[in-house]
């Protein structure tokens, strides 16, 4: 059977004034000798840092989440009694006394009310949370547009328009993706503890403060307060017991912001102030269809992926706090925003029209309007942080947005591209267009340009994001020509590329690969170690010896812990199940898949892999149950249909197997495995269709020698020995070790009397 595996607060060095000292002394002396919590809360920072506190308190960071109160409703919500259809239900939002309520009237007339207890956001949108059973905080389906003061259908606003995939569809608002406890992480509250009880699937979620507080970036405050109080009035302790962000490196600044402003996977929770991004997260890149093929944002991708593509970041060492204040504001607000690009680009800033071909003080003469164009998704604006110039040619090629047409929305991309060609002597677009074309082809499984991709990686011609994307996409490529580029990636200075390369080595089981993965398992950054552990889990035990056993054991333990770092996420247990399955621990794998399915009954991946694992241990009844359950949620799922067809074939239920193979061919017209198996099953009844199907399997998967052999066999059986002979000769020219082909060819030649052959 086929297996499916699928912001910052800058606080200066403290000098405690008289008033601040007296407040601290009176307030804290009584408590200072008690056993207290590490975190003191933002209010404790106010007496000595009132200016910073005031800047923070009303910022989007400080108000990232807040309770729904009378004061909030009075000041922020202008529209009530708004009915909106969400799915098959009608929702209404209304005020009752000092609270905000959402009512749902279902198709059959069933009525339910939800009270909004928390609200997130505020820059563009307000999202409201309701408290449901078992401690679950769910994002309600009506959100509030702060720019238009109107309500809208939030799940519907999140529909993507993928270039090469089927049209996206709204996610049910009760889906886990809209569950605050598991999906929103700690980016809207501070010092979050999910407190998930896996046995009962209950949450007792807690946090220190709503919003992103001072201690998120500076660390726990109590020891700092103690040290300052004990130092006495006017004295600065030698060790202020606090993380000083003004001393951060560029990477630390980016990591701090990236802990929330990145589309990423969490490796372990609890990112600390001053931590390294790739010890806690793995960045998602262009292998994900939520990005256009040229790297522009399509959906809700935050910032860090495009920031990693930024040549200014790479060459000038700039970071998030170069342009933004710690409270999330623009550092150059109130002045010429082009000053942000000084002094590196003073020649362009001093003579704007010569660079932009727009008159001064117009939108086209603002650096950020052309190099950081804003696009909207789900009612939120996103600024492109790659700083790349306008590329209308990418709009023509991939449908991605470009700055010219965002402003000149009455013109075509072709019009904009003509102006770019006229005004710029250098063709700066071609490099991105070429890389985007290669990304698109790789996404579609077309490896005709594999040599260009691998050579580009080896020669380091692509940036970090494109290189990572190509390596991740090559995991789905069966061509051995990919290996030199992947091996080269393991030596790259970028941890993102090293990690992608280590992960991509999972199906290269040579001794050389194993030894390299053991070396990568000792990498300084967790993202690389865990990726190597993933690939090592596919190797048989005989590769382990006294020299590497300790390293492998430690790496595997770290990897296993990372897989359950988010115990309330079904995907964590799915991945853990895969890990156990790779290690041959099928009972543990089934337990993990079961937990994953309990958390999310519609987890198709878990259901399919559980079904496959049951078949491995001979429990075909449970295997069938898992596959049928998966099919009930997704009737056209190819992996499920294939596994069911194979299962029934193994059990001798030929008629049912044939039915499922035919269903698979309707869903996936070019399924070689379905065509091949179906040709074998129906041969006795319909030789003509069988021959046609086997020919299709050979065409759809031309490198599969078994399919070529089968087609030749059926040709001979159907009375076409000459054609069969020709195909067998070509097969043996490509692989002279295929013994069955020799036997069949010998028989054909003997029957023809060609004894000398």
Q: What is the pLDDT of residue 26?
A: 40
Residue whose structure tokens are 């608002």: 173
Flag the least confident range among 107-111, 183-187, 398-402, 674-678: 183-187
pLDDT at 200 over 70: yes
Bridge partners, 318 (sequence order): none
Helix (H, G, I), strand (E, B) or coil at 462: coil
Tell me the two tokens of residue 432.
């991105």
- Biggest alpha carbon–alpha carbon distance for the chain: 111
Tell me the CA end-to-end span of the chain in Å, nearest whole number.
38
Whole-prediction pTM: 0.88
Q: How far, in Å, CA of 325 to CA of 333, rounded?
A: 10
Confidence of residue 15 (pLDDT cuts 50, 70, 90): very low
pLDDT at 166 over 80: no
Confidence of residue 37 (pLDDT cuts 50, 70, 90): low
Inter-CA distances, 476 with 356, 516, 674, Å: 42, 21, 19
What phi and psi values does residue 673 have, to the nearest 5 degrees? -65, -35
Helix (H, G, I), strand (E, B) or coil at 329: coil
pLDDT at 2 over 90: no
Residue whose structure tokens are 């409270």: 327
Q: What is the pLDDT of residue 30?
A: 38
Averaged pLDDT for residues 405-424: 95
- Give 574-587 pLDDT, tens digit per residue: 999 999 999 999 99
pLDDT at 6 over 50: no
- Give 351-373 pLDDT, tens digit per residue: 888 999 999 888 889 999 999 99
Q: How far, in Å, CA of 712 to CA of 695, rounded?
A: 9
Residue whose structure tokens are 């563009």: 124
Closest CA to 172 of 184, 182, 160, 159: 159
Flag the least confident range among 32-36, 102-106, 301-305: 32-36
Stated as kind and residue range, the H or E segment containing 144 is strand 142-145
Q: How far, in Å, CA of 409 to CA of 254, rounded?
A: 34
Q: How far, in Å, CA of 351 to CA of 32, rounded?
A: 59
Mean confidence (pLDDT) of the chain: 91
pLDDT at 77 over 80: yes
Domain boundaries, the chain: 18-62+213-247, 65-210
What phi and psi values does residue 254 have, to the nearest 5 degrees? -65, -40
Find the angle CA(272)-CA(276)-CA(279) to the nearest 5 degrees.
90
Cβ neighbours of 524 (radius 10 Å): 10
Q: What is the pLDDT of residue 4?
A: 37
536 Cβ neighbours under 8 A, 6+ residues apart: 514, 517, 518, 521, 552, 555, 556
- Give 477-532 pLDDT, tens digit per residue: 999 999 999 999 999 999 999 999 999 999 999 999 999 999 999 999 999 999 99
- CA R_g for the chain: 30
């Amino acid at each position: 059977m086929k297996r499916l595996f699928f912001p910052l607060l800058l606080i200066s060095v403290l000098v405690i004034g008289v008033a601040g000292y007296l407040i601290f002394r009176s307030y804290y002396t009584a408590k200072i000798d008690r056993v207290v919590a590490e975190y003191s809360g933002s209010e404790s920072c106010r007496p000595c840092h009132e200016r910073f506190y005031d800047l923070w308190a009303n910022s989007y960071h400080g108000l990232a989440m807040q309770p729904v109160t009378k004061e909030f409703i009075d000041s922020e919500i202008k529209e009530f009694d708004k009915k909106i259809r969400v799915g098959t239900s009608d929702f209404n939002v209304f005020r009752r006394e000092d609270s905000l309520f959402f009512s749902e009237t279902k198709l059959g007339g069933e009525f339910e009310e939800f009270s909004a207890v928390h609200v997130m956001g505020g820059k563009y949108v307000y999202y409201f949370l309701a408290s449901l059973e078992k401690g679950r905080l769910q994002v309600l389906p009506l959100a509030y547009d702060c720019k238009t003061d109107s309500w809208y259908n939030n799940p519907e606003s999140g529909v993507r328009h993928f270039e090469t995939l089927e049209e996206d569809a709204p996610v049910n608002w009760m889906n886990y993706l809209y569950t605050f406890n598991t999906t929103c992480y700690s980016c809207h509250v501070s010092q979050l503890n999910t407190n998930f009880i896996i046995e009962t699937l209950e949450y007792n979620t807690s946090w220190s403060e709503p919003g992103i507080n001072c201690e998120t970036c500076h660390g726990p405050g109590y020891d700092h307060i103690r040290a300052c109080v004990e130092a006495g009035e006017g004295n600065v302790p030698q060790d202020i017991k606090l993380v000083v962000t003004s001393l951060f490196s560029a990477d630390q600044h980016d990591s701090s912001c990236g802990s929330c402003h990145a589309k990423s996977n969490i490796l372990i929770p609890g990112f600390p102030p001053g931590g390294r991004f790739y010890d806690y997260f793995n960045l998602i890149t262009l292998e994900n269809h939520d990005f256009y093929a040229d790297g522009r944002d399509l959906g809700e991708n935050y910032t860090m992926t495009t920031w990693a593509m930024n040549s200014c970041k790479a060459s000038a060492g700039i970071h998030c706090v170069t342009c933004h204040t710690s409270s999330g504001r623009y550092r150059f607000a109130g002045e010429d925003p082009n000053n942000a690009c000084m002094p590196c680009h003073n020649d362009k800033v001093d003579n704007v029209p010569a660079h932009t071909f727009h008159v001064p003080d117009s939108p086209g003469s603002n650096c950020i309007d052309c190099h950081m164009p804003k696009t909207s998704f789900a009612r939120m604006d996103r600024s492109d942080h790659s700083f790349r110039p306008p590329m209308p040619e990418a709009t023509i090629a991939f449908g991605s947005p470009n700055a010219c047409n965002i402003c000149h929305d009455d013109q075509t991309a072709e019009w904009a591209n003509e102006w770019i060609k006229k005004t710029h002597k250098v063709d700066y677009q071609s490099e991105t267009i070429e890389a985007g074309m290669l990304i698109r082809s790789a996404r579609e499984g077309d490896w005709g340009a594999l040599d260009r991709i691998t050579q580009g990686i080896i020669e380091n011609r692509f940036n970090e994001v494109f290189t990572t994307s190509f390596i991740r996409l090559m995991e789905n490529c069966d061509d051995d020509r990919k290996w030199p580029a992947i091996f080269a990636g393991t030596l790259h200075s970028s941890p993102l590329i090293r990690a992608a390369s280590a992960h991509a080595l999972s199906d290269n089981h040579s001794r050389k690969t194993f030894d390299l993965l053991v070396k990568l398992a000792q990498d300084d950054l967790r993202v690389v170690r865990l990726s190597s552990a993933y690939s090592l889990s596919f190797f048989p035990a005989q590769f382990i010896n006294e020299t590497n056993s300790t390293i492998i054991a430690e790496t595997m333990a770290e990897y296993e812990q990372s897989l359950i770092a988010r115990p309330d996420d079904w995907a964590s247990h799915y991945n853990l199940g895969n890990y156990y399955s790779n290690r041959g621990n099928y009972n543990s794998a089934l337990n993990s898949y079961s937990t994953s399915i309990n958390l999310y009954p519609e987890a198709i991946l878990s259901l399919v892999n559980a079904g496959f694992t049951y078949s491995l241990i001979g429990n075909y009844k449970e295997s069938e149950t898992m596959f049928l359950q998966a099919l009930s949620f997704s009737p056209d799922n190819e992996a499920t249909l294939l596994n069911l067809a194979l299962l029934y074939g193994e059990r001798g239920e030929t008629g049912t197997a044939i039915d499922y193979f035919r269903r698979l061919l309707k869903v996936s017209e070019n399924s070689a495995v379905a065509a091949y198996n179906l040709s074998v099953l129906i041969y006795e009844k319909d030789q003509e269709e069988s021959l046609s199907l086997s020919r299709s399997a050979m065409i759809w998967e031309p490198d599969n020698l078994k399919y070529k052999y089968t087609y030749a066999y059926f040709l001979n059986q159907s009375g076409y020995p000459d054609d069969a002979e020709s195909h067998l000769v070509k097969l043996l020219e490509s692989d002279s070790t295929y013994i069955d082909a020799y036997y069949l060819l010998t028989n054909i030649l003997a029957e023809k009397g060609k004894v000398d052959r």
